[in-house]
Amino acid sequence: MKNKIRFSTIKGNSREYVLLVLSLGFVSFCGFVAAWLRYTHGHYITNMTNAVPWGFPKIVAIYMIGLSAGSLVLSSLSGVFGITEFKIFARSAALLAALLLIGALMSIILDWGRPDRILVPFVHINPRSMFSLDAMFYTAYILTCFVYLWAMFKEKTELVKRLGVLAIFIAILVHSGTGAIFGFVGARELYHSPLLPPLFIASALSSGSAMMVVVMYLTFRWSRRPLDDALLIRLGSYMAAFLLVAGFFIFVENVTRAYFPANYEVQRFLLTSGNKYSQIFWVGMVGIGVVLPLGILFNPATRQNVGWILFASALVLAGVLAERYIIVIPAQVFPIDLFPGMKVSSPFMDGVVAKYSISVVEAFYGLGIFTFVFFLYALALKFFELLPEGAEK
Amino acid sequence: MTDMDRRGLLKAGIAVLAGAALAPGVTLIRAFADGGEGTSSSPSASKIRWGMVIDANKCTEKCQECTNACRTENNVPFFGDERWDGHWIRKATLTPEIEGARSRSLPLLCNHCENPPCQHVCPVAATFTRHDGIVMIDKHRCIGCRYCMAACPYKARTYVFKQPDAWSNPDVPKRDKGVVEKCTFCAHRLDQGRLPACVEACNKSGEKAMIFGDLNDPKSEIYKYIRELSPKGIREDMGLKPKVYYSGI
């Protein structure tokens, strides 16, 4: 398709736009206040404990890392895979990919006990630590996204293609590496799994494409630019494929773990105990996150309907957030079996299921940083030529 | 941080640098000591492998001497809230899942693993192993990401959730909130030729449930004990090669 797409900025002086930017800014501000309070007071103002040292900020971080993948893939569809209809999304999606990863890094770093030591991971490297390697991958990913975006602005087709391929390669490292942060922890049965890196990629792609459906729909609608329904319907079908893969990995991982008698207790805790975690597992992650959206996306009556696809995307976004929760939290609250065959008790929560719920500070923190990404995105639309003047072929 | 703290820290820093220049990598907190005899580690004695045996038959449930001594010696934060209290050593009660079986009490602490997962996962290499096998944390490098806490199967690491106000022992640096800490086998005492505070307290209490010494020294009590009675590490199946052994479990 040879027809050239002209990109332009949005005017950004409507009341609705100003209101949107102001409210996104306000929520972000609340998030930064929460981060500041956490930093000055210490982690005791959150619900994290010595038994559950990783809480909601970690969940938000890996959720945003995942979402970033969808944006990058969508952006590369035209430049790398030659599906030119998607070129209208290429610039805004590449920007979102970078912004989401920046947000994820903010969520991780501001949750450190010492965020002021931000440069230490770049000075002291431990090649055996997934975190240390990921710091390199994340940085490379953000830089590549920005150079890729620059090449798109300059309409350097060949360079865009090469950088797109490079960005996809680094994205695979980023997402495998993020899954491996947990998968490489041998001490906890629910973390230790070689399937976490590929599961992470699959659910990154499903949640990422879900987010693109919602964000692109709203971006084009609110900026009053025409958008061909067929594009969203196609994104919906990609999302269905990613969901099938993610669902398969979840199934294999849990069946494999449950098969081994040493894991009966932990799998019972996660799957059949009826506690908060098994509810989030079945209702949130499996029901809302996989089964319902698959039903919508495979049903001939709904799969061609943009309204239904938007609904399915919202479900996937909620379901993958539940999945991130299930990846991070249950492995920590379930007690480590230090003395098999014995009951253990101590003043340090040995042998008991630890408690964790998302605290108000953590909720504001996570929501604020998440919103900050879209605050920057909304501002960028006004200052950079990210959106096409028309989205029809 | 008060001026006093800052000056103390600076002095300590200079001393540590000097120590490192004299005996690279051998001691971290040597700076606080002026050397000693007996257990003192020197470059020529870097084959030392400190280890501990705990005899669960001698340890009684009521006794808290080791945990109290550790808390005082190492300024371990205590807030009276189980969610945030630091524990470098803690007493646990084990009850076999058999009707009427006798329960046992024993202390749990950092096992100073030969293959320490906490050190493997640390993104900034703030956790390191000294030449004498003690796993330590550089608190000036730790970023407080808490990956090590997720990775340690012994739950030996605690995080400083809140600025601690008590500072009982000026020989051990006060920590700021936001970093992870754990047992050091009282490296600062070993470097002065003294036993770890918990072992000393256990001996004083008369229970004598803890034996500490050089695992590589055939003449040491701990070497002979391990050879005779083959005590076991906790969850040795994980391949971490812990250096704290238990007998009577």
Pairing of strands B50-55, B244-247: parallel
Per the CB < 8 A criterion, the answer to whether B216 and B171 are in contact is: no
Put simply, the answer to whether A187 touches B234 (Cβ < 8 Å) is no
Q: Tell me the C-alpha distance between B165 and B179, whole Å.
A: 15
Using CB atoms, which residue from B91, B92, B144 is nearest to A112?
Answer: B144
- Which two three-digit tokens encode residue B114? 């030969």
Instruction: Show residues of chain B in contact with A346, CB under 8 Å.
Output: 90-93, 108
**Is pLDDT above 90 for B3?**
no
For B6-126, strand residue ranges (E) read 50-55, 89-96, 104-109
pLDDT at A77: 86
Interchain proximity B94–A349, CB inside 8 Å: no
Structure tokens at B199: 């072992």
Q: Is the per-residue pLDDT at B79 higher than 80?
A: yes
Rounded CA-CA distance B146/B148 in Å is 5
Residue B69 has pLDDT above 90, yes or no: yes
Q: Does A127 touch chain B (CB under 8 A)?
A: no
The answer to whether B100 contacts chain A (CB < 8 Å) is no
Q: Please report, for chain A, the start and end positions of each structural domain, with discontinuous segments joined by +.
A: 10-388
User: CB atoms < 10 A from the CB of A228, how many?
Assistant: 15
Instruction: Give B10: exposed, middle or buried? Use CB within 10 Å, 0-12, 13-18, 19+.
Output: exposed
d(CA A218, CA A235): 15
Q: Residue B101's pLDDT band (boundaries 50, 70, 90)?
A: confident
Q: How confident is the model at residue B6 (pLDDT cuts 50, 70, 90)?
A: low
One-letter-per-residue 3-state SS of chain A: CCCCCCEECCCCCCHHHHHHHHHHHHHHHHHHHHHHHHHHHCHHHCCCCCCCCCCHHHHHHHHHHHHHHHHHHHHHHHHCCCCHHHHHHHHHHHHHHHHHHHHHHHHHHCCCCCHHHCCHHHHCCCCCCHHHHHHHHHHHHHHHHHHHHHHHHCCCHHHHHHHHHHHHHHHHHHHHHHHHHHHCCCCCCCCCCCCHHHHHHHHHHHHHHHHHHHHHHHHHHHCCCCCCHHHHHHHHHHHHHHHHHHHHHHHHHHHHHHHCHHHHHHHHHHHHCCCHHHHHHHHHHHHHHHHHHHHHHHCCCCCCCHHHHHHHHHHHHHHHHHHHHHHHCHHHHCCCCCCCCEEEECCCCCCCCCCCCCCHHHHHHHHHHHHHHHHHHHHHHHHCCCEECCCCC
Q: Which 221-240 residues of chain B touch chain A by CB within 8 A? A: 234-235, 238
Domains delineated in chain B: 3-43+63-102+109-206 (3.30.70.20)
Distance CA A133, CA A176 (A): 11
Strand, coil or helix: what is B91? strand
User: Rounded to an integer, what distance in angstroms lies between the CA atom of residue A133 and that of residue A178?
Assistant: 10
- Which chain B residues touch A345 with a CB distance below 8 Å? 92-93, 95
Specify whether the CB–CB gap between B28 and B128 falls below 8 A. no
Its pTM stands at: 0.90
d(CA A5, CA A23): 32
Q: Counting one residue from A and one from B, how many pairs have CB atoms under 8 Å apart?
A: 175
Nearest by CB to A339, which of B94, B150, B160? Answer: B94
CA atoms within 13 A on the CB side of A72: 32
The mean pLDDT value of chain B amounts to 85
Statement: residue B75 has pLDDT above 80: yes
Q: Is A4 on the interface with B (CB under 8 A)?
A: no
Whether the per-residue pLDDT at B172 is higher than 90: the answer is no
Q: Is B200 helix (H, G, I), strand (E, B) or coil?
A: helix
CATH entry, A10-388, from 3.30.1330.40, 1.20.1630.10, 3.30.70.20, 3.40.50.920 = 1.20.1630.10
Q: Tell me the shortest Cα–Cα distance from B139 to chain A, in angstroms.
A: 11
Nearest CB partner across the interface for A346, out of B91, B121, B142: B91
Average pLDDT, integer, range B123-129: 97
Quick check: B145 and A112 CB within 8 A? yes
What pLDDT score was predicted for residue A145? 94
Would you state the pLDDT for residue A205?
94
Decide if B155 and A132 are in contact by the 8 Å CB cutoff.
no
A238-293 pLDDT per residue, tens: 999 999 999 999 999 999 999 999 999 999 999 999 999 999 999 999 999 999 99
Flag if B159 and A191 touch (Cβ within 8 Å): no
pLDDT category at B97 given cuts 50, 70, 90 is confident
Chain A interface includes B85 (CB < 8 A): yes
Q: Does A116 touch chain B (CB under 8 A)?
A: no
Chain B residues touching residue A126 (CB < 8 angstroms): 120, 122-125
List A residues 220-249 in contact with B (Cβ-Cβ < 8 A).
Answer: none
Contact flag B123-A343 (C-beta cutoff 8 Å)? no
Task: Report yes or no: A119 at the B interface, CB cutoff 8 Å.
Answer: no
A345 close to B (CB below 8 A):
yes
DSSP state for residue B172 in the 8-state scheme: S
Å between B189 CA and nearest CA of chain A:
26
Of A53, A120, A187, the CB nearest to B146: A53
CB contact under 8 A, A135 and B123: yes
Q: Which is it for strands A387-388 and A7-8: parallel, antiparallel or unpaired?
A: antiparallel
Residues B7-45 pLDDT 10s: 555 555 554 444 444 444 444 444 333 333 344 444 444
Hey, are the CB atoms on B117 and A187 less than 8 Å from each other? yes
Q: How far apart are CA A17 and CA A9, in angstroms?
A: 13
What's the sign of the alpha-carbon dihedral A188, A189, A193, A196?
negative
| A45: closest CA of chain B, how far (Å) | 9
Q: What are B181-233's pLDDT values in tens digits?
A: 999 999 999 999 999 999 999 999 999 999 999 999 999 999 999 999 999 99
Please give the average pLDDT of every successive group of 10 residues along chain A, which has 393 residues.
76 93 98 97 96 97 93 87 90 95 96 96 95 95 95 93 93 94 94 95 95 95 92 95 97 96 95 96 98 97 96 98 97 94 92 96 97 98 89 39
Q: How far apart are CA A89 and CA A96, in angstroms?
A: 10
Task: Compute the distance between CA of residue A76 and CA of residue A89 in angstroms, rounded to an integer.
Answer: 9
How many C-beta atoms lie closer than 10 Å to residue A206's C-beta?
Answer: 32
**Which residues numbered 152-171 in B keep a CB inside 8 Å of some CB on A?**
152-155, 158-163
Give the mutation candidate from A43, A356, A359 for the B interface (greatest B CB count, under 10 A): A43
